[in-house]
Amino acid sequence: MAEKLTAEEKTDPQPADAPQGQPTSSSSPNTDNLIAATNGSPQKTPQHPVGFIRQTELIDLVKAYDPNADENMLNRAYIFAMKAHGGQTRQSGDPYFSHPLAVAAILTELRADPATVATALLHDVVEDTDHSIDDIEEHFGSEVAQLVDGVTKLSQIELRDEASKQAENFRKFVVAMADDVRVLLVKLADRLHNMRTLHFIEKADKRRRISLETMEIYAPLAGRIGVQRFREELEDIAFRELSPDAFATISKRLDELHQHSVSGVVELANVLRQKLEADGLRAQVYSREKRAYSIWRKMQQKNVSFDELADIYAFRVLVDNVQDCYRALGIIHSNWRMIPSEFDDYISAAKPNNYRSIHTAVVGPPWRDGRRQRIEIQIRTYEMHETAERGVAAHWQYKDPGANGASVEIVGPKQYDPYETPRRLVEMFQGGEDLDEALQYAKLELFQDQVFCFTPKSRVIALPKGSTALDFAYGVHTDVGDQCIGAKVNGIQRPLRTPLETGDVVEVLRSDNAPVQAEWESLAVTGRARSAIRRRIKKMQYNEHLALGRSIAESVFTGAHLQFSLKGVRAGLRKLEKKSVEDVLVSVGRGDLPVNDLIEAVYPGASAASEGEIRPASLSEFKPSVAIAGLTPGVSVRMAQCCTPLPGERIVGIRGDAGNITVHTIHCERLAQDDPPQSRWLDLKWRKNDDEQHTAFARLNVTVQNGVGVLSEIAGIIARYGISIASMRLQNRSREFIDIVMDVEVKDAKQLAQALAGVRAAPTVLAAERIGTDNDEQL
């Protein structure tokens, strides 16, 4: 085994009662190819051979995919390794030979060539017995000897600490795998079996160290060469060790979901297959359940709960050729509404590890309970499926065993280079850097879901993919983010919203008096940046409300001929049910606490003695219920029907030929299309009168599931926000969906936005949006 494990870490491969103790041929039993829709019934994947398998069984596994396999070499390797390990045992007491035998069995799932299987059987012989590489070469030839040498443990390395030991070990490993990628496959299979038996290691800190190394190095390596089944299982076992509570919680939810959903998944798979067959396309359809770590990672990335995930169950559609992939996509999209944000075409643009497939998500057919579930679908050819399952091994082409040289060569698309990752890693270790630093760079190379940028002083800042220059500023330090006023990316000043790529050098421009804008929170991707921005905005708003509240209170008290004092406010805290004077003034500034209530608390009876509402002496009254500042008195004004501006929205005026003014929202699409000359533009803003009620109209389009009571449900939600429905009609009505178009009376854009958020949260609502009224008939 290529990794540096001590004797006490050599564990039993397959106890019957061990967690995840019996691996399946593709992954764990609850994760991959659960259901084949070819017959509509659940199918468990076949199990690995476990424990000791006989020579003939191992050879049969190899010859099933390579009829010309060298039986003699495999027999000799089996016997040689079994005798060499002799009486050695693992911590469980089982024969040590069970480990290399399990590694060999794992590699047969990838259809590894005979030399690689023999290497798996022999990979611990040189380190753990008296045999040498020369002995291996004498008995099995140079090819197997070189592979064994590449994966032999480096137990003689004596370095100053564990980190340096890992760095040196990894350096020698990547140099070996750059010569022959099969070294990497044996190494990954070796690590996979050790992870499956990790629970036998008694020391928790060692289990954690091995799990962290697996998560940071070996799982990403498996992904980079396309062996996703290895990556997923390595991640899942490491996740179980590193975050046991999260693993247990998600696993429990998965078990519950499986019990209630398996029959529905079978039905959906059959419906999908039947739709394809009805259009003359023969395809195999399988379902797949995500693993615990994959679910947790997606929950973290999208900041959603388990119940909000749409693709815990996904479907794979396998067809004969690329043309059929796009035919299947067309059939699926013509039957069910697609979700644009979930579409990816990895056939036209393959991933670096040569993964090719079409990913889409649709609002699928209803489940048995009538709910319409979002489902994820992957469409690929059988050849692409082989690549997705076996990675680089899918491109092996076996040679005649009598030919000179290696028994296998890698063939595949010209743009695919399986040695690209090993070569890049080797370059990092050969660049003269400190080994520990080189290891960190190697880890950066392996994480494709992150970007790694640099400060001008070459400090590495790791950020999630899609992060902006603003995220970078907060990634350096919260104070740097708070003082950020701009950024230079690779020496050129760029907007803070600029997405960053690995290798970018970012210089943060700073000021002690840097302002913060509310939209910054939407620009940020990282939780650290969003949290810091939110705290800063809340603090600034608190200070603004505090100052405004004090100003209003002083003005009102003066208008009522009463003395305002903080001591008096403090005396009224109990009556106001507030903890501090600051809380009182902030509530006044926000409008949550009427000033009359404050006066009543400080001067009981003073408010009742006053006539009507006590007003700040400085406030003026406006007779119009809604007025627009910036207009010439008497001018003819109308609201644009394409965007129907509401109070609170940013607006502009466009002067017509006759001098009339049409008011648009600043983001109006029609305005952008017409692009009137700047000479016709007027800078306008809303001006409200606090004394009089006003109303404005907006038109909404709400798409809901067709069902009894859905209209009253939507109307009830809107009414809860104090909004009146002026008119309503139904259109595009079908058995499944209804579009509800309604005109509503609102005070301002904020009230409408709150109501729309409430409507969208309803389980029966698929979409809710505000629309214009210019191209629609009158209600």
Q: Are 538 and 524 in contact (CB under 8 A)?
A: no
3-class DSSP state of 407: coil
Give dist(CA 727, CA 608) in Å, integer: 42
Query: Hey, what are 485's tokens?
Result: 């006023």
Instruction: Count CB-CB contacts under 10 A for residue 571.
Output: 12
Instruction: Count CB-CB contacts under 10 A for residue 100.
Output: 29
**Which H or E element spans position 545?**
helix 527-559
Q: Are 106 and 193 in contact (CB under 8 A)?
A: yes
State the Cα angle at 382 between 101 and 38, rounded to 5°.
Answer: 95
Q: Are 694 and 764 in contact (CB under 8 A)?
A: no
Burial of 7 (0-12, 13-18, 19+ CB in 10 A): exposed
Strand partners, 489: 492, 506
Q: Quick one: how many helices (H) and strands (E) in the chain?
A: 30, 24
- Pairing type for strands 460-464 and 737-746 reads unpaired
Which sign, positive or negative, has the C-alpha torsion 451, 454, 460, 461?
Answer: negative
* Extended beta strands in 520-670, E state: 626-629, 637-639, 651-655, 661-665
Active-site residues: which are they? 127-128
Closest CA to 702 of 662, 755, 746: 755
Q: Are 508 and 478 in contact (CB under 8 A)?
A: no
3-class DSSP state of 44: coil
For residue 220, the number of C-alpha atoms closer than 13 Å in the C-beta half-sphere is 17
Strands, sheet with 484-489, edge to edge from the N-terminal-most edge strand? 492-494, 484-489, 506-510
Burial state string for 131-158 with b = 16 or more CB within 10 A and e = fewer than 16: beeebbbeebeebbbbbbbbbbbbeeee
Query: Hey, what are 665's tokens?
Result: 């929202």
564 contact partners, CB below 8 Å, separation of at least 6 = 553, 554, 557, 558
Residue type, 742: M
Q: Are 519 and 484 in contact (CB under 8 A)?
A: no
State the Cα angle at 246 between 240 and 250, rounded to 5°.
Answer: 95
Instruction: Count CB-CB contacts under 10 A for residue 321.
Output: 11
3-class DSSP state of 382: helix
3-class DSSP state of 550: helix
State the Cα angle at 149 between 146 and 154, rounded to 5°.
Answer: 160
3-class DSSP state of 33: coil
DSSP class per residue in 267-319: HHHHHHHHHHHHTT---EEEEEE--HHHHHHHHHHHT--GGG-S-SEEEEEEE
